[in-house]
Structure 1
Amino acid sequence: MVRPSWTRVSALSVGVLLVTVLTGCSLLGRSGSASGPDQQGAATPTPVGKRVSLVQRLGGDGPLRTLDVEPTGRWQCRDCAGDGVDATGALNPEQTSRLQRMLDDPALAGETDEARRYRQLCIGALTSTLLIPPGLTITIQDCPGEPEPPVAYEVLLLLTQATPAQDKG
């Protein structure tokens, strides 16, 4: 078995950390807080559901693609298909409902990197990391023989099939 070089593992870890920090900053930097008063002093309604971010990289040198999906189904993708193009859109109501059901599934807690004691096994494979606040991180690598966490894999499929977040290369 060929082990990944530490520079590749640490580069991906730095990328995931950067996206996590930027996602947190974007939540704090929005105009008006989710539960703060609006212009008339009334509380702003908080969307019901969970946010999810998907970070993908093909190999250690590929572009870092990110997709952020709000509880409402609105999404924003940066370098969506590894082609430098950004996009925004929305999941349809059925996709949004299905995504929220999967994100609420208690089985996700058993699929985290920590619970599975996840280690990268393949070099050059597509690595997808789901970040589900408040602190669930689930990494799935497109690596022959690697077991796929069932609920997280369904989330990954939904996100990549419903948005431009897939590799065109």
Structure 2
Amino acid sequence: MVRPSCPRAVPMTAGVLLALALTGCSLFGRAEGSTTPDQPGGSPSAATGRPVSLVQKLGPDGSPRTLEVDPGGRWQCRDCAGDGVDSTGQLTPEQTHRLQRMLDDPALTRETDEVRRYKQGCVGALTSTLLIPPGLTITTQDCPGEERPPVAYQILLLLTQATPAEDKEKG
């Protein structure tokens, strides 16, 4: 049987991804045993920066991996490496500064799913959604020919390279 050249898209709306990211209590401020101290100097304070969430799912049956980074660079991840393990950590001051610079880039408003009229085009691909308050949602998929919004893609690269946000099943 010949597969169609344009497979049906997996119905995963931004609202579903947002609900996955926000399920249960917030990852920040309420995590049991959270002992990461605030970093004096170098890192933006919670009052001056922006948080960001990354939700990834591999194919229609994959479990979602969620990563949340607060404005000071502290991150917390659920099932981040696709192995069921939750982890926490801290971006370096340089990574935090770079992330905050990108989150403040006005170009992000032109990269949202709504502006791009984004529709998922691949079945079985890794879908990554950035959720940036107050209401920016930017989704990409790892499939041939997929548009990569420049600023959002750099944020995605920084987050996946600085944290264990990588699927161990793939490597």
TM-score range, shorter chain: 0.7 to 0.9
Distance in 2 separating the partners of 1:26 and 1:80: 16
The corresponding residue for 2:145 is 145
Q: How far has the Cα of 1:63 moved from its partner?
A: 1.4
The corresponding residue for 2:67 is 67
Q: Secondary structure at the match of 1:26?
A: coil
Note the alpha carbon deviations across 1:123-165, whole angstroms, 9 max, x for none: 0000000000010000011010111000000000000000001
The corresponding residue for 1:104 is 104
1:22 correspondence with 2:23: yes
Contact 1:16–1:55 under 8 Å retained in 2? yes
Q: How many residues get paired?
A: 151
The corresponding residue for 2:159 is 159
Contact 2:80–2:87 under 8 Å retained in 1? yes
Q: How far has the Cα of 1:47 moved from its partner?
A: 3.0
Amino acid at match of 2:135: G
TM-score (norm 1): 0.82
Contact 1:47–1:72 under 8 Å retained in 2? no
TM-score (norm 2): 0.81
CA RMSD of aligned residues (A): 2.2
Amino acid at match of 2:11: V
Q: Which segment is superposed worse, 14-23 or 55-64?
A: 14-23
Distance 1:84 1:149, change over 3 A: same
Structure 1 alignment gaps of length 5 or more? 31-44
Structure 2 alignment gaps of length 5 or more? 1-5, 31-44
